[in-house]
Amino acid sequence: MNPLVGKIVQLKAEGKKVANGEAIYRYCLENEEELNTKIQELDEQIQQALQNENTLFSTDIKLLETQIEEKLENVYENTNIQEIEQYKNEISNSITKKAKIAGDLTPSGSYVKQLIEQRSQYENQLNSNSKYVYADKSGIISYRIDGLENKLTVGDFSYLNKNLLESLNLKNSQIIASNNTNAKIIDNFKCYITCLSKTNEALNSNVGDNIKLRLPNSEEVPAKIVYKNNESKDEVLLVFEIEQSVESLINYRKVAIDIIWWSDSGIKVPNKAIKYDGDFAYVTRNSAGYEEKILIKVLRQNDNYSIVENYSTQELEEEGYNASALDNKKSLRIYDEIVMKKR
């Protein structure tokens, strides 16, 4: 997102949300390591000077000490390098604030003030000569750059085709490597996934259709088809738009997904067992040698099976059936024995 090159200092950790205009990283100075070493040495001297004083009762100091202790606990319990660095910077700032207050309260105040002044000079050198980079939009920050950011764009997907996708030579579930020279802001509200499919459902799908995708973490999220291109008579390229669990995908460029074209809960029945009485579907149940006609609603159907459910009493009454004649025996249950059609 920035044409400058050089090592950067992360101000926001990988995967954190950032606001438009917020500083996210800065470029290192040539003598930054030397300046940081001097600042660290001064911090140790300031802390040592404060430890020799026992007369600090300022409420502000007590509050700062509490904040320092809390941040230290966060450092001990954290494994994210970027977040640890951020906590260390916050601890350093709190120690400096504490020292500035102590400079007015302690006998050694003049010495502490002198140390703080030296530290401020080094900090000013860092801040005044550093190039800061700010987020140009809100979203999730990522330092995982693979060079495809300007190639795989969103909006107009007409450039996508099978040859292009295959030429990328992407490995499934391979994590994009982090770098220390740049960053990108990912829109954390929308994500686009493209795939090639030869299924009948894909071939017969339309832009605007709503389906579900099962992500690598097994989570099922709603998705919408926003682009479709027929690669051949038996293969189609689709682009799906999702707005949930975007953060779980930002580390990857290629993942394995399952397309859930439809989902209904009900009883799975062979098509051969289903008969029709006018517009009503029904099955014949064998109950201890007696055959009973059970009306059913067909929810979904493929070449071999159907997903069905029972009619409610109200639905049957609305269709003109006698309510007094309805009982539990007229409901199909999962382990019922049903009669197949005779050839």
In a domain, 220, yes or no: yes
Q: Which of 90, 113, 129 is at the close of a domain? A: 129
Same domain, 255 and 276: no
pLDDT at position 290 is 80
pLDDT at position 52 is 60
Q: Which of 240, 260, 280 is at the close of a domain? A: 260
Range of the domain at 41: 29-129
Q: What is the mean pLDDT of residues 222-245?
A: 94
Judge whether 258 and 199 are in contact, CB under 8 Å.
no
In a domain, 20, yes or no: no
In a domain, 65, yes or no: yes
pLDDT at position 182 is 84
Residues 274, 280, 286, 289, Cα dihedral to 10°: -130
In a domain, 8, yes or no: no
Same domain, 302 and 210: no
In a domain, 9, yes or no: no
Same domain, 123 and 180: no
In a domain, 89, yes or no: yes
Same domain, 73 and 35: yes
Say what percent of the chain tops pLDDT 90: 22
In a domain, 146, yes or no: no
pLDDT at position 59 is 66
Same domain, 288 and 330: yes
Band the pLDDT of 76: cuts 50, 70, 90: low
In a domain, 231, yes or no: yes
For the purposes of burial, counting CB atoms within 10 Å of the CB of 175, is it exposed (0-12), middle (13-18) or buried (19 or more)? exposed
* pLDDT of residue 81 exceeding 70: no
**pLDDT tens profile 297-313:** 888 887 788 888 888 87
Give me the number of domains the chain comprises: 3
Same domain, 212 and 296: no
Band the pLDDT of 2: cuts 50, 70, 90: very low
Band the pLDDT of 28: cuts 50, 70, 90: confident
Domain with residue 301: its CATH number is 2.40.420
